[in-house]
Structure 1
Amino acid sequence: MSEMKLGPAARYFDDFEIGEQFLTQGRTISDVELTMWAMFSGDMNPFHIDDVYAKEHSLFGGRFPQGLMAVGIASGLYERMGLFVGTGLAMTGQTITYRKPVLVGDTIYVRLTVAGLRPHPRRPAGTVTFGYEIIDSESTVFVDGEWGILLASRAVNEAAQPIEAPPFEAQPNGARTKNGGSR
């Protein structure tokens, strides 16, 4: 069994505490993301892709991004923090509540708050439930909800046997070879 490769900021289930908060870097939403998300998802609602229609009928004065686009970008923002690189095992669930539309030109951040910790009954792992908020620089909440992720616990790596390299032996010519081997 190979040891899990951890990112420099990776955390195990055991490392989180209720109430702990994390804030991602920001990302400004542009027309490019809106268009690419419409193409990628197939969501070609005229509110997202038709300037004339959206200016006449939109509640927001023009085209606006799809709600799930903001949630998808938020996922990328918290992934970039590296908290789950090598320890994340599975996403266990997510709720989404839209509070205010994210519009082109808005810069969004994600604030994660540890809301729950539940050890797995049979595995060296546990589920961390995060409250999340997609916010702007003034903490206006656009989207919020809960997100659960199953994370490995420290017992995963503590139980693994370290792999030791065979000792090197000095050879008469000054070369070093692995025990019993030749160069």
Structure 2
Amino acid sequence: MGTSLYFDDLVEGQSFESTGRTVTESDLTFFSMLSGDWNPIHCDVGFSSKTRYGERLVHGAFGIALATGMIHSLGIFEKSAVAMMSLKDWKFRKPITLGMTLRLKLFILEKDPGKSERVGRVNRLLQLVDESGSIIQEGESDMLILKSGR
């Protein structure tokens, strides 16, 4: 989209969708290095081939990081976001695997203008979905957002 939206621009029920991003071997390796999580389900082909999934799985926390990055790539909060206030009820519905293409669906659930003249609270549903539209991860996130661009 590329245009910043402000509190008054958003409508409950409104939705946005990011472009897709394919998860790579480099993603898995870099996230292992960043997090320090070298669990064999992520990094050992022999071990993971014997699990019920039959392959290595990408870290669940990588999905959260990817989803928050995809929010930024939408561009709708670039100049209006003040702070992410929460990440709640996050569910890991299906594993992330190498080669999977994911995108973010973002839904405006609720708006609360509060008492501030400067910012309001917006509750959003974030869904990380695969190429078939299956929900891989999802949860809610409150944010503070500027009420106007002035």
* CA positional deviation for 1:84: 1.1
* CA positional deviation for 1:137: 2.4
Work out whether 1:34 is the aligned partner of 2:28: yes
RMSD: 1.5
Preserved contact between residue 3 and residue 76 of structure 2 (Cα < 8 Å)? yes
- Runs of 4+, deviation exceeding 6 Å: none
The equivalent residue for 1:66 is 59
Q: 1:84 aligns with which of 74, 77, 94?
A: 77
What is the one-letter code of the residue matched to 1:77? M
Report which of the two has the higher share of strand.
2
**Structure 2 counterpart SS, 1:109:** strand
Preserved contact between residue 122 and residue 143 of structure 2 (Cα < 8 Å)? yes
In 2, Cα distance between equivalents of 1:22 and 1:86: 17
**Structure 2 counterpart SS, 1:130:** strand
**Structure 2 CA distance for partners of 1:10 and 1:145, relative to 1, 3 Å:** same
**Structure 2 CA distance for partners of 1:41 and 1:139, relative to 1, 3 Å:** same
Pairs within 5 Å for 1:159-174: none
Percentage identity across paired residues of the two chains: 28
Q: 1:93 aligns with which of 67, 86, 90?
A: 86
What is the one-letter code of the residue matched to 2:28? L
In 2, Cα distance between equivalents of 1:78 and 1:59: 32
Q: 2:135 aligns with which of 136, 141, 146?
A: 141
Preserved contact between residue 100 and residue 131 of structure 2 (Cα < 8 Å)? no
Work out whether 1:117 is the aligned partner of 2:107: no
- TM-score, normalised to structure 2, is 0.94
- TM-score, normalised to structure 1, is 0.77
**Structure 2 counterpart SS, 1:93:** coil
Work out whether 1:11 is the aligned partner of 2:5: yes
In 2, Cα distance between equivalents of 1:59 and 1:129: 36
- The runs of 5 or more residues in structure 2 that have no matched partner are none
- The runs of 5 or more residues in structure 1 that have no matched partner are 1-6, 158-183
* CA positional deviation for 1:69: 0.3
In 2, Cα distance between equivalents of 1:51 and 1:72: 24
Preserved contact between residue 2 and residue 74 of structure 2 (Cα < 8 Å)? no
**Structure 2 CA distance for partners of 1:60 and 1:8, relative to 1, 3 Å:** closer
In 2, Cα distance between equivalents of 1:100 and 1:150: 30
What is the one-letter code of the residue matched to 1:99? R
